[in-house]
Amino acid sequence: MNDVSYRYPRSKRWVVTHLSLKIKQGEFVALMGENGSGKSTLCQMMNGIIPNSVGGRLVGQVLIHGLDTKETGISVLATKVGIVLEDPETQLFTTSVKSEVAFGPENLSLPPEEIEERVRWALEVVRLAGYEDRLPTSLSGGQKQRLAIAANIAMRPDILVLDEATSQLDPVGVEEVLSVVRELNQKYGITILMATDASEMVARLMDRVVVLDQGQLEADGTPGQIFADTGLFKKLMIRSPQVSQLATRLKNEGHALPAFPVTVPEASKGLQILLKGTSPVLHVEQTKLAANTSQAPAIQVEHLNYIYQPLNVHAVKDVSFEIQQGEFVALIGQNGSGKTTVLKNLLGLLRPTDGKVIVAGQDTHTTAVAEMARHVGFVLQNPDQQLFAETVEEEVAYGPKNLKLEKGLIEQRVADALKLVGLEDKRQEFPPALSKGDRAKVVIASALALDPSIIVLDEPTTGQDYRGCHQIMQIAQSLHKQGCTVVFVTHHMALVAEYAQRVIVLCGGKLLLDDVTEGVFARPEVVRQAYIIPPQITELGQALPVGLGLPRNPLTVQTMSAAILSRFNHKK
């Protein structure tokens, strides 16, 4: 890329400005930056979608193996560059999983036996073997994303571009896909450019990190160089691996590790050296919180079964649990484990095939969805599916108006909801024109305007940057402090560890674990059955020698940092 600038059609704002970047054949490059920094735009420049399909004005030159993307057709560039977008549904169009993966190789006129081998291999890589005859539209969001990845890697392109392509995958799914992408990089020499904020994976697998800010190159270096730069975090909220955050905290307190770590083995080795000669301080493990049973449970799920017809897919199998009023609960599990199906049963959007679901005293099998909305606010993982009004204010007021509340009460609820999510100054803006983070906040505000006692969030942080993730979770935490029951689904285990009091784990449609957060992550061999990997800081605690006397299952960097610093204070 030579001095590239770009602006979208009908826009006066340049989203990329004077950007020059060279990527060598065979490099594995991470592309990082806040939402709106230009990452997706850059990704779409790589195979000519911009400007050939999208349009707009592109100044400068983008060369792919010497081909100018402005002068080369997308069909030609597609043989050189595979691209997996954040939203997989924009890339799926055939009638079966197998035909979706076979489509690209078939268009290369490969021999049938090679096409079969590529399809088989690609589906095994993304854990969709056995799904060959399924309709792509019948898959879960994460499964659709894996299918889009499979369709691209079956092409064996020279360059593979992934635009937040693992954002909807479970932790083991992310690890497996990235490991495969790394194998493609090392074994076949495929150049990889991946927009992601999965810093732990970046640190472990990638050669180089490119950081964008408002369409300009902000930083370019190795993972160690980038994550050691605390100025980048302060300016752009680029999330470094948790062990790197720990090392920075210790350094700021005058206790630097021998070498700056980005992986668990590096941090473990450094801590053992740093703490040599200090005395262990007793760490008390968290015990199970006593449930508040003085009131009726907010949610009761009794032997829930749900079967999707006509495919006869048994998505939820005899699941039972209770959530007390005022709890903050995470529902986690692998893609397709039944999480969203359970949530939809909580709202009455689906009716149990068998069993019973009682929410806020209402039997969801017999209660109208409109009535359930009075009690439960629901936020989908894709906020765009819930936005339809012309202004933010109209969007948030829609629910209360449908309840036929008095005008003054509607205005008060809208004002309160917008204040809570921090959108008071965007009342008159067009919701689809907002950033993804702000669009999610509009949906949350719309749910809050109904004054529900329960808030259910289905993957609310998907596609959000570090700042956006924590803004959304802090809103949820604020609601919880006000007495609201919060249930959220996420694949972001660091957020689970930081915010959830309790975790329910689903695996293959069944209940696998139900415990306080620390208790769940204390059993890594069990949660891995659900394709869950504990947060990196928890993995560090589990990897350190027991005799070191540090927390075995720390949930946050702050917890581990405090325990380590107490060793030095104790020594004094």
DSSP code at position 22: -
**Predicted local distance difference test score (pLDDT) of residue 571:** 55
Q: Which is the CATH superfamily of the domain at 299-530?
A: P-loop containing nucleotide triphosphate hydrolases (3.40.50.300)
Q: Which of 39-43, 267-271, 385-389, 425-429 has the lowest mean pLDDT?
A: 385-389
Average pLDDT over residues 280-292: 53
Q: Hunting for tokens 């570090």 — which residue is that?
A: 466
Give the DSSP letter string of 50-76.
IIIIT--EEEEE-EETTEETTTS-HHH
The answer on pLDDT for 292 being more than 70 is no
Residue, of 140 and 320, whose pLDDT is higher: 320
In tens, the pLDDT along 246-282 reads 999 999 999 999 999 999 999 999 999 999 888 766 5
Task: Name the phi and psi angles at 422, rounded to 5.
Answer: 80, 35
The answer on pLDDT for 81 being more than 80 is yes
**Predicted local distance difference test score (pLDDT) of residue 19:** 96
**Predicted local distance difference test score (pLDDT) of residue 178:** 79
**Predicted local distance difference test score (pLDDT) of residue 421:** 92
Q: Place 526 in a pLDDT band, splitting at 50, 70 and 90.
A: very high
Query: 2-236 in CATH: which number?
Result: 3.40.50.300
pTM of the model: 0.85
**Predicted local distance difference test score (pLDDT) of residue 12:** 87
In tens, the pLDDT along 294-321 reads 578 999 999 999 999 988 999 999 999 9
All CATH 3.40.50.300 domain ranges of the chain, comma separated, are 2-236, 299-530
Average confidence score pLDDT of the chain: 91
Q: Which of 104-118, 203-217, 374-388 has the lowest mean pLDDT?
A: 374-388
Of 136, 245, 186, give the one whose Cα is nearest residue 540. 245
Q: Give the span between the Cα atoms of 499 and 82, in whole angstroms.
A: 37
End-to-end CA distance of the chain: give it in Å, rounded.
56
Average pLDDT over residues 442-451: 93
In tens, the pLDDT along 488-507 reads 999 999 999 999 999 999 99
